[in-house]
A and B are shown apart, each in its own frame.
Chain A
Amino acid sequence: MNRQMTDDELDREIRSFLGLQEERVRPAYSATEIAARITERTRRAGLGSVLALPNYQRPLAIALLLALLLALLLAGAVFFGGRQSLPLHLTTVENGWIVFSSQPGGRQTQENDFRAGGDIYIGREGVAPTVIVSRGSASISNVCPTFSPDGSKIAYGEAAGLQRAVVFLDIAGDGTVAPSARLTAPGSGAAPCPRWSADGERIAYMQGSARVVMTLDGSSSEPQPGDPEEAEFVLPGEDAGIVTSPSGQVTAELTGGGAVFAAVDGSFQRVVRFDDLSWIAANGYPPEGSYGLAGWSPDSSKVLLMYDVSGRHFTMRTLAIEEPFDSDVVAEFIPVNGTRSWPALGDVSWQRLEVDQ
């Protein structure tokens, strides 16, 4: 719009918009059903009341019931089973491959040197990273690689000239990848920074200030529960702030020359001073040299630290949250695409593997 709207004009636009939005809101239950739910909750306090709980309370109630059931099963197994193994099928979370871009994505222009482009690497603890998506002749931005929730695919954003796309790769167990699809992203500008829905059926990215949600066949979709919210696209840059573990139980925060790990329930707080750690001194890192916290491992046992090691290269290491705070190299001396353009939280994704016991 070319001229500034008056307040009255703005209010009219807002009222009109809200009126239209209101028309689109359709209740899932009838008034009679809601009355029945209220009656049920008022009259009953037994297990059946789970059915009448609001949606947000159901998972907790179901979890409590399952925990009770599990406890009964365990007690029964111990009592009747003797040395027999427990008839339970357990799944544990393990840490898989790590993908990262050498270019930060989804942030403000001044923090990102688009001219230099960016590569995407894959590696893991004990396996040196290799480039899987190249910037070409320094002209292609490849940003925000992110594993699907089931770990079977990687999505990332690409910008080459005026063309933008979200690209999908299939990943095999040995870390090899193969392109499987490319969704054209309308518009021009910075590469889209895709994020997966919780169920892995849709991806979302920001187009200007609007969130675009697409199903994996490339058609647009109305936002649904579990889709990434706008707030999740506001990447913090190098100063990640407080980052919560995938389990939701521990937070991590970088401080000057150290890190703090704290239980969400307040049961512990561990303060790590980097100048106390032998691997810091052994590798010649200055204690204050870590510039970013790039996320958590899927099993919530360690975090990823980013180190500026030359002014133009970064090194990424794990840091265990339990004493003695062990560390492994994930990537060493990776060139960044500009001296003010450092990847951090949001530019690294760690594959979650579910392993049957």
Chain B
Amino acid sequence: MALVEGAANVATEPDVALVAFVTEHYDRLFRAAGLICRHPDDAADAVQNGLELAWRRRSTLREPDRTRAWLDRIVTREAVRMSKRRRSWLSRLFTPSPDVKWIEPADPTVSEPATSLALRAGFARLSAEQRAVVVLHLHLGYSVAETAAIVGAPDETVRSRLRLARQRLRHELEEPMR
């Protein structure tokens, strides 16, 4: 569909500095946003919005060595916002309704390591804010104080979100699947 491929078809030569800026940060930001959003389209939108915002406001950044944390803050907040946004009835309106054809009997093979399956289920059940602090603190290695600054919440709130997230994930790991 033409719209989906729009980015590739846009006949605009991007600024070389912008390309360098996006290239340097895009992959890392997309992976982090993907973990928070759990959906590649939402993650792509969050990163594009975040990078665009950052590019427009780059002159306000006084300490260039803080670029990474600054970008993480912008994109994380955008990813949380995107993640909380439900797919609207309007977007469903534009989803074509396919013909349902003949259905064959099932192949009941559904396999995935139990630990991974349990953590995936648990991680999906966390709120977007909880996923964000888990990714920032446990995966990207930010301290609690740095994580708090990135998500814009008090340290205690971040500790609380981490505690609840660990509780949920521990429960999923230790509760055998029914």
Question: Given the complex, which residues of B lie within 8 Å of A153, measured CB to CB?
Answer: 100
Q: Which residue of A lies closest to B101 (CB)?
A: A216
Q: Can you list 18 residue pairs at the A/B interface with Cβ under 8 Å?
A: A1-B174, A17-B116, A18-B138, A21-B123, A22-B35, A28-B40, A31-B22, A32-B19, A33-B7, A35-B14, A38-B48, A56-B42, A186-B110, A207-B178, A216-B100, A216-B103, A225-B41, A230-B125
Closest beta carbon of chain B to A217's beta carbon, Å: 5
Question: Given the complex, which residues of A lie within 8 Å of B45, measured CB to CB?
Answer: 54-56
Question: Given the complex, which residues of B lie within 8 Å of A40, measured CB to CB?
Answer: 10, 12
Question: Given the complex, which residues of A lie within 8 Å of B125, measured CB to CB?
Answer: 209, 230
Q: Interface on chain B toward A: helix, strand, loop, or mixed SS?
A: helix
Task: Please determine whether A43 and B12 come into contact, CB atoms closer than 8 angstroms.
Answer: yes
A261 vs B169: C-alpha distance in the bound complex, in angstroms?
Answer: 39
8 A Cβ contacts from A1-60 to B = 1, 4-5, 7, 10-11, 13-15, 17-22, 25-29, 31-44, 50-52, 54-56, 58-60
A201 vs B11: C-alpha distance in the bound complex, in angstroms?
Answer: 35
Question: Given the complex, which residues of A lie within 8 Å of B40, measured CB to CB?
Answer: 25-28
Q: Which residue of A lies closest to B53 (CB)?
A: A38
Which are the 9 A-B pairs with shortest beta-carbon distances? A218-B106, A51-B6, A25-B34, A181-B103, A183-B106, A54-B45, A208-B177, A35-B14, A39-B14
8 A Cβ contacts from B1-57 to A = 3, 6-10, 12-15, 18-19, 21-23, 26-27, 30-31, 34-35, 39-45, 47-49, 51-52, 55-56
**Interface status of B63 (Cβ within 8 A of chain A):** no
Question: Given the complex, which residues of A lie within 8 Å of B124, measured CB to CB?
Answer: 211, 230
Task: Please determine whether B6 and A220 come into contact, CB atoms closer than 8 angstroms.
Answer: no
Task: Please determine whether B89 and A248 come into contact, CB atoms closer than 8 angstroms.
Answer: yes
**Interface status of B65 (Cβ within 8 A of chain A):** no
Task: Please determine whether B87 and A225 come into contact, CB atoms closer than 8 angstroms.
Answer: yes
**Interface status of A200 (Cβ within 8 A of chain B):** yes
A sample of 15 more A-B contacts (CB under 8 A), given A21-B123, A199-B98, A200-B100, is A5-B173, A14-B138, A14-B139, A22-B139, A25-B35, A27-B26, A27-B44, A31-B22, A34-B44, A39-B12, A40-B10, A153-B100, A183-B108, A219-B107, A225-B39
Q: Interface size class for chain A? A: 35 or more
Task: Please determine whether A209 and B118 come into contact, CB atoms closer than 8 angstroms.
Answer: yes
Task: Please determine whether B19 and A35 come into contact, CB atoms closer than 8 angstroms.
Answer: yes
**Interface status of A263 (Cβ within 8 A of chain B):** no
Q: A13-B115, A33-B8, A226-B92 are in contact. Are A209 and B55 (CB under 8 A)?
A: no
Task: Please determine whether A185 and B108 come into contact, CB atoms closer than 8 angstroms.
Answer: yes
8 A Cβ contacts from B121-178 to A = 121-125, 134-135, 138-139, 166, 169-170, 172-175, 177-178
8 A Cβ contacts from A237-253 to B = 246-248
Closest beta carbon of chain A to B142's beta carbon, Å: 13
Task: Please determine whether B97 and A150 come into contact, CB atoms closer than 8 angstroms.
Answer: yes
Closest beta carbon of chain B to A237's beta carbon, Å: 19
Q: Which residue of B lies closest to A56 (CB)?
A: B45
**Interface status of A131 (Cβ within 8 A of chain B):** no
